[in-house]
Amino acid sequence: MSVVEQYARAHIVTDEDVDRLDRDAVPVVLRYDPESDPRAVRIGLPGPHEWTFDRELLEQGLRAPAGSGEVRVWPCGRVQAVVEFHSEQGVSVVQFETKTIMRFLRRTYTAATTPVGS
């Protein structure tokens, strides 16, 4: 089994003063390591922020609102999805293109079923 790491760009949604924000997408890393935990995915935001949660939650959230603990995922229109992270420091809301998450999930399922050495 191999680790899946996919770099993506996403928009961080905030209520801060829009004029002070970089309106461009920020780099985000989607990770899956079937040997570490075959049911979990990780999303790394800029800086030291990385969230680990159930892969099934990410998949369910593409179809309908889903949440568990500090992570919530829901579809946003037909082509976007939102992932919301809660921590003691506050809430981070990140908007992805749905196709990016779907491509990542497909790769995770392929990695989980590929025999070592293939």
> Residue 26 to residues 46, 88, 95: CA-CA distances in angstroms?
7, 22, 10
- What pLDDT sits at residue 114? 65
- What pLDDT sits at residue 21? 45
Cβ contact 96:8 at 8 Å:
yes
- What pLDDT sits at residue 44? 92
pLDDT tens for the 118 residues of the chain, in order: 689 999 998 988 765 444 444 456 889 999 999 999 999 999 998 878 889 999 999 999 999 999 988 999 999 998 999 999 988 878 889 999 999 999 999 999 998 776 655 5
The pTM (predicted TM-score) of the whole model is: 0.83
